[in-house]
Amino acid sequence: MSKILITCAVTGSIHTPSMSPHLPVTPDEITEQALAAAEAGAAVLHLHARNPRTGQPSAGVDDFMAFLPRLKQGTDAVLNISTGGSAVMTLDQRLAAPKRAEPEMCSLNMGTMNFALYPAADRITEWKHDWEEPFLRNSDDLVFKNTPRDIARILTEMGEDRGARFEFECYDVSHLYMLRHFVDRGLVKAPFFIQFVFGVLGGIGPDPENLSHMKLIADKLFGADYAFSVLAAGRHQIPLVTMSAAMGGHVRVGLEDSLMIARGELARSNAQQVAKIRRIVEELGREVATPAEARAMLGLKG
Ligand code: KMH
Ligand code: ZN
């Protein structure tokens, strides 16, 4: 089996500061946790920015630029900037920082979908910031818009124009067919890297059978032209990414996807989750890829 690539998604735009004191939100916290995650074995860092005062997801170029140069200096891990941003941002907002930073890799979400976050809100008794509760409760009506026109625009503006390659976020089987459509249009070139996403309310559920099915259909649509990775939300994170590792796939962990390290126990850092999955995959006999190996595997511009 090929070496395994560990991606760490450091902060995201779903969890809020009231859910965990360990969620990094300031540039210092994001930098420190991302560097430690890379040190622990993450070859790819998937990055969002936050407003440093409120912890609110931010599309601000300055909020990204407050940590990106420090990461570039401090690690050779691949910096992967989200183009998904947050479902409440417009596509122009989502693209502002990636267009400025010109990363070698960015995410690309392969379909429009519901993106409900509200179940988490019911568990919080004390809110740290005013924006958090309405943000979570309004997600009852939240549409994460990624139309074919949006996808084509990201492929053109980040891929063709700036040489980025992609983490194709597929939250359902239908998204694999959307990706195939763009391969057929000549806008996506092999080798490509598909992130199977499980457990977002609005996407495919976190059942092991669904991972087998996603892989079955991806094999049929893409043959040897692709590699897959798995992320799963919340408590499904470790079981499903472990299954991916056993199947020859790659893994993504990080506080964007789950705040926990074990049942009822908050992760103290992103690095703690990276170290845990590293132990598991090494026990399974997989060797962890370095950033240089990740670049070769993903065909990055470097
Ligand atoms: N938050 C994840 C479910 C993105 O940043 O483009 C997927 C994600 C999207 O990481
Ligand atoms: Zn993300």
pLDDT exceeds 70 at position 215:
yes
State the closest ligand 1 atom to the C-alpha of 197, by its place in the atom list counted from 1: 3
- Range(s) of the domain holding residue 229: 6-111+146-298
What does the DSSP 8-state code read for residue 256?
A: T
Q: What pLDDT shows up at residue 208?
A: 98
Q: Residue 124 C-alpha to ligand 2 middle, in angstroms?
A: 23
> How many domains are contained in the chain?
1
Cβ of 167 less than 6 Å from ligand 1: no
For residue 130, tell me if it sits in a domain. no
pLDDT exceeds 70 at position 118:
no
Q: What pLDDT shows up at residue 120?
A: 73
Gap between the Cα atoms of 165 and 160, Å rounded: 9
What does the pLDDT look like over 22-50, one tens digit per residue? 999 999 999 999 999 999 999 999 999 99
The answer to whether the CB of 78 falls within 8 A of the CB of 44 is yes
For residue 118, tell me if it sits in a domain. no
For residue 160, tell me if it sits in a domain. yes
- As a whole number, mean pLDDT of residues 201-214 equals 97
- As a whole number, mean pLDDT of residues 51-64 equals 98
Share of the chain above pLDDT 70, in %: 99
Share of the chain above pLDDT 90, in %: 94
The mean pLDDT value of the chain amounts to 96
Contacts 24+ apart (CB under 8 A), 206-213: 206/232, 206/233, 206/236, 206/240, 208/239, 208/240, 208/243, 211/240, 211/243, 211/244, 211/247, 213/173
For residue 24, tell me if it sits in a domain. yes
- As a whole number, mean pLDDT of residues 80-97 equals 98
What does the pLDDT look like over 153-171, one tens digit per residue? 999 999 999 999 999 999 9
For residue 227, tell me if it sits in a domain. yes
Query: Residue 78: helix, strand or coil by DSSP?
Result: strand
Q: Residue 84 C-alpha to ligand 1 middle, in angstroms?
A: 6
For residue 123, tell me if it sits in a domain. no
CATH number assigned to the domain comprising residue 151:
3.20.20.70
For residue 217, tell me if it sits in a domain. yes
Q: Residue 117 C-alpha to ligand 1 middle, in angstroms?
A: 13
What does the pLDDT look like over 235-247, one tens digit per residue? 999 999 999 999 9
Cβ of 200 less than 6 Å from ligand 1: yes
Confidence of residue 123 (pLDDT cuts 50, 70, 90): confident
Q: In terms of DSSP bridges, do strands 143-144 and 113-114 run parallel, antiparallel, or are they unpaired?
A: antiparallel
pLDDT exceeds 90 at position 301:
no
For residue 120, tell me if it sits in a domain. no
The ligand that comes nearest to the alpha carbon of residue 169 is 1
